[in-house]
Amino acid sequence: MNQMIGVLDNQARLARVDSSVWSRWVIVIGALSIHTLLFIPSTVTFGVVSGVFLIVPAALAGWWFGIKGGFVAGVAGTFLHCLLLIVGANAVPSDILHIIPVFALLPTSGVLAGMYKVERVRVRGLEQARAIENEKFQQAQESWKSTEEELRELEREYSAMVMQARDGILILQDDTIVFANRSLSELAGYASTEEIRRIPYLDVIAEESRVPFRQYIEARMRGEQVTPCFEAKLRTKSGEVLDVEITITSTQYYMRSASLGVVRDITEKKRDEQRLRDSLREKEVMLKEIHHRVKNNLQVISSLLSLQSDTIEDPVDQELFKESENRVRSMAVIHEKLYQSKDLALIDFGDYLLNITSWLFRSYHMTERVTCTVVAQDVSLGIDAAIPCGLIINELVSNALKYAFPDGREGKLSVVFARGDEGQLRLTVSDDGIGMASDISMENSKTLGLRLISILIRQLGGTVQMDGSNGTTFRIEFANH
C-alpha cells in the first residue's frame, strides 16, 4: 500500500512538472503571437523598432528553459519577424540583411537570460550547499565540543586517580622521567611532581640496582618473557635507600614509545621478612639445642644402663639392660640426626638406617658372622614417624641378631626401606636364619619386643606381614603423613 501511494505521488509530481513546462511554452508562444498580431510592421523602420520588443519572450524562454530554450525562442522570433517584414512591409532581402544585427539581439537575449538563470541556480545551489555544510560543520563542532568535554572529564578523572594512587606511577622516555604522580615524588623525597620530572631515571635508582634494572627495562620493552616485577633499590633525594618493587610495561606517550612503571615501597615488607628470618633462625638454633640436649640425655641414660649392666652377673638381666640400652640409643640417634639436619622437621631415614644397623651389629658382635645389606631410597620422615619406625627397626634387627643365627651360625640380614607404588612406605627386614616357630604371633607373644612392635605399628597406622617359612621376614607398610 505504501509503495502504491509513493508511485502515485511520483506520477503526480511529474504531471505537475510537465504541465508547468507546457504552460511556460504556451506563454512564450502566446507572447510571440500577440506581438505579431499587434505589431505587424508597415515599414521596415517600424519593423525594426517593434522587433526589439521580441526580446521579452526570448528572455522569458531563456529564464524558464535555460540557454537552449532562450536560443531557440530568439531564433524563432527572428525568423518569424523577418517573414512579417517581407509580407507586411514589402521588405527586400537587402533590407533584411541590414537589420540582421538588430535581430541578433533576440537569440542573444535568450541565451543571456538562460546563462543568468543557470548562474542564479548555480549560486543558489552553492549557497544551499554552503548552508548545509555550515549546518554540518556546526553540528560536527558541537559534537566535537561535546566529545572534547567528555575526554577532558575522563582525563580529569584518570588524572585524579593516577595522582592519588598509593603506588608511585611514572613514565620513562629517552631514559628520562617525563611523568610522575604525587606518590612517587613523595617516595623519592621530592617536593613536587614537577621537580622529579625531566631528570634521568637512573638518578633515583641506587648504584647496585642500575645495571640489572636497565637490563630489565630493555627486556620488557623487547617483549621477552621476564618476571613482571623487579625488586630494586631506590635512592631518595636525601640519599636514603629504599626497597621497591617495580613493574614496567610498554606504552605510548604523546605518540611516542615509552615505558609505564608502577613503583611500590616494600621496605617495611623486607624488614618484616628479615625479622621473620631472624626469628626463625633463632628458633632453629633453639630447636637444634633442644634436640642436642635430648640426645645427650638419652646417651647419658644409655651409658648408665651400660654401666649398670656391667655390674650384673646374671646373663638374662644383662640382656634386658642391653635391649633397653639399644632402644634408648635408637631414639638418641633420631635426635642427633635432627639437630644435624638442615630441615629440623625431617631426617634422612636412609642415613639413619645405616647408622642404627651398624651400631646393633657392633653391639651384638655379629659383624664377622652375619652379612648386612641395607637398601634405602631417598626417604625423609618427620619425628612423629621416625621414632616409632626407628624403634621397630631396632627390635627387628636385634631379634634377628639374637635368635636367627645360634651356635656361631653364619647368614645374611637384609633391611629394605622404600616407597610402594601408591606412595606408601614399605619396610622389609628379612634373614636366612633358623626362622620362627609357627605358633608365635605378634598378638599373643609374651616377649616385650614383639608386643612393642605391634603397638608401634598401630601407632603408625600400618600393617604387618610375618613369614617364618624360609628364615624370617617382616613386611610393614604405612602411610607417610
DSSP calls for 109-122: HHHHHHHHHHHHHH
C-alpha cell at 207: 648504584
pLDDT in tens, 200-245: 988 889 988 889 888 888 888 887 888 878 889 999 988 899 999 9
Q: 234: helix, coil or strand?
A: strand
Place of cell 610393614: 476
Q: Which residues contact 406 (CB under 8 A, 6 or more apart)?
A: 434
pLDDT at 94: 58
Concatenated DSSP letters of 267-336: HHHHHHHHHHHHHHHHHHHHHHHHHHHHHHHHHHHHHHHHHHHHT---HHHHHHHHHHHHHHHHHHHHHH
pLDDT in tens, 176-187: 999 888 888 888
Q: Residue 388: which of 285, 309, 481 has the closest Cα?
A: 481
Chain-centre distance for alpha carbon 358: 58
Segments of 331-434 assigned E as strands: 346-348, 370-376, 380-382, 411-419, 425-431
- Give the amino acid at 350: G
pLDDT at 291: 67
pLDDT at 31: 53
Binned at pLDDT 50, 70 and 90, residue 1 comes out as very low
C-alpha cell at 232: 630494586
Q: Which residues contact 460 (CB under 8 A, 6 or more apart)?
A: 385, 388, 389, 478
434 CB burial (10 A radius; 0-12, 13-18, 19+)? middle
Which of 17-31, 43-57, 149-163, 211-225 is predicted least confidently? Answer: 17-31
Which of 121-130, 300-309, 412-421 is predicted least confidently? Answer: 300-309
Q: Residue 86: which of 78, 77, 95 has the closest Cα?
A: 95
pLDDT in tens, 444-478: 666 777 888 888 888 888 998 888 878 899 999 99
pLDDT at 430: 92
CA separation (Å) from 473 to 133, 209, 373, 466, 470?
A: 104, 63, 14, 6, 8
* pLDDT at residue 11 tops 50: no
Chain-centre distance for alpha carbon 29: 85
| Contact status, residue 370 vs residue 361, Cβ threshold 8 Å | yes
Q: Which residue has the higher pLDDT, 477 or 384?
A: 477
Alpha carbon distance 64, 118 (integer Å):
10
Alpha carbon distance 92, 43 (integer Å):
11
Alpha carbon distance 381, 318 (integer Å):
33
Pairing outcome for strands 411-419 and 370-376: parallel
The most confident of the ranges 116-120, 414-418, 435-439 is 414-418
* pLDDT at residue 374 tops 70: yes
The most confident of the ranges 94-98, 234-238, 282-286 is 234-238
CA separation (Å) from 40 to 45, 55, 189?
A: 12, 16, 109
* pLDDT at residue 44 tops 50: no
Average pLDDT of the segment spanning 155-178? 84
Q: Which residue has the higher pLDDT, 404 or 159?
A: 404
Average pLDDT of the segment spanning 376-399? 84
Q: 233: helix, coil or strand?
A: strand
C-alpha cell at 60: 522569458
C-alpha cell at 371: 652379612
Angle, helix 105-164 to helix 55-88, in steps of 10 degrees: 170
Q: What is the pTM of this model?
A: 0.49
Average pLDDT of the segment spanning 291-306? 75
Alpha carbon distance 97, 313 (integer Å):
176
Q: 449: helix, coil or strand?
A: helix
